Amino acid sequence: MRTLRDSLVDYLTMRRALGYKLRRHQKLLAQFVDYLDGIEAARVTLENALAWARLPTNGSVRWWASRLSIARGFATYLHTIDPAHQVPPADVLPYRSHRTTPYMYTDQDITALITAADTLRFPLRAATYKTLIGLLAVTGMRVGEAISLNCDDLDLGQNVLTVRTGKFGKSRELPLHITTMQSLRTYLHCRGHLRPTPNTPALFVSAAGTRLLYCNVNWTFLKLVDLAGLRSGSASRRPRLHDLRHSFALHTLLDWYNAGVDVQSRLPLLSTYLGHVNPGATYWYLSAAPELMILASNRLEKAPGGQS
């Protein structure tokens, strides 16, 4: 007889075959199975799924809803094997997520962040963060993609960077501007001088010669935000590391609108460059900033038959 833990292995294997990484799901579902074992429950029920989802008892509704959603996916899989497993209804612990309003970094903001990175304690750490921030700002790469880059992903002859660890396992090639390539060459020279034998094939390395960790990168970035004197536009529009990606996309769209190009026809290009699997994720940017909404409205008014 297969146990819940055996079924969890099968469920994760099936989902990963579809391109999902599920690191967080694996951790939480393992805890869910431990919980079910602890109460000697052989099947998932609405009661035990809800009881587990509401842990800790002082957690937020958003956190509870996220846990129940993950348990629901596993329960749905189990139900196809044994109908005795209950699937929690979607209207239990409902929570409608709201995307955070992105902070729009200006060129001056990026310069201030890179200048602040120059004050970091170790020369290699300073060089790493200066180059990393610059690359994120001009490519819109995901942070996880950037810190997963290896040296052989960079083609210095063709001015192309290959992202091999994109979302859902998708790879893509990013053509880079000659000034970006020069910055990467300078960093590689500096890295080779300060850490000639790193412990990793990673492109970006720490002062100890190891691959960067997201938690450390995010902590350091928030420190640089303070050093650079960047201030929140509002409580919901604070400078975040991921907003470098948002800013790249928004500034690209703003440039296209100001240049009078056909934005709709170019959106698939931006979607491909950003590595969006679903083009709808790119279309979200059209309503993500007031500046874009104003430009789009103005273009609509100028169009033949357009109305304000």
Highest-pLDDT range among 4-8, 169-173, 295-299: 4-8
Residues 197 and 224 in one domain: yes
Ramachandran area for residue 95 (φ above 0: left; ψ -120 to 50: alpha; else beta): beta
In this structure, the answer to whether residues 152 and 74 fall within a common structural domain is no
Residue 165 inside a domain? The answer is: yes
Residue 87 domain flag: no
Residue 223 and residue 254 in one domain: no
State both tokens at 55: 């842990």
Q: DSSP assignment, residue 86?
A: P
pLDDT above 80 for 123: yes
The answer to whether residue 43 sits within a structural domain is yes
Residues that are catalytic: 142, 167, 242, 245, 276, 285
* Selected residue with higher pLDDT from 102 and 177: 177
Neighbours of 167 (CB within 10 A): 18
In a domain, 102, yes or no: no
177: in domain: yes
Is the pLDDT at 286 greater than 80? The verdict is no
Last residue of a domain, one of 202, 228, 254: 228
If one counts the domains in the chain, the total is 3
Domain span at residue 112 reads 108-228
* Domain co-membership, 190 together with 257: no
Cβ atoms of 88 and 18 closer than 8 Å? no
pLDDT tens for each residue of 192-226: 999 999 999 999 999 999 999 999 999 999 999 99
One domain for residues 255 and 207:
no
Taking the C-alpha atoms of residue 160 and residue 274, their distance in angstroms, rounded to an integer, is: 15
Please say which residue of 198, 228, 258 terminates a domain.
228
* Cα–Cα distances in angstroms (integers) from residue 242 to residues 47, 147, 239, 246, in the given order: 37, 13, 9, 7
CATH number for the domain harbouring residue 177: 1.10.443.10
Residue 263 has pLDDT above 90, yes or no: no
The pTM score is 0.69
Contact 232, 100 (CB under 8 A): no
b/e burial code for range 244-278 (CB count within 10 A of at least 16 → b): bbbbbbbbbbbebbeeeeebeeebeebbebbbbee
- Residue at a domain's end among 228, 262, 277: 228
Query: Which residues, in sequence order, are CB contacts of 298 under 8 Å at separation 6+?
Result: none
- Given CA atoms 183, 276, 20, 33 in this order, what sign does their dihedral have? positive
Longest dimension (CA), the chain: 69
Q: How far apart are CA 144 and CA 167, in angstroms?
A: 9
Question: Confidence class of residue 308 from pLDDT cuts 50, 70 and 90?
Answer: very low
Does pLDDT of 300 surpass 60?
A: no
114 and 77 inside one domain: no
Whether 76 and 145 map to the same domain: the answer is no
Q: Are residues 197 and 112 in the same domain?
A: yes
CB atoms within 10 A of CB 290: 10
95 within a domain of the structure (yes/no): no
Contact 308, 301 (CB under 8 A): yes
Q: Is residue 238 part of a domain?
A: no
* 112 and 203 inside one domain: yes
Instruction: Confirm whether 216 is domain-assigned.
Output: yes
- 66 and 124 fall within a common domain: no
Q: Indicate whether 124 and 185 sit together in one domain.
A: yes
- Both 115 and 213 in a single domain? yes
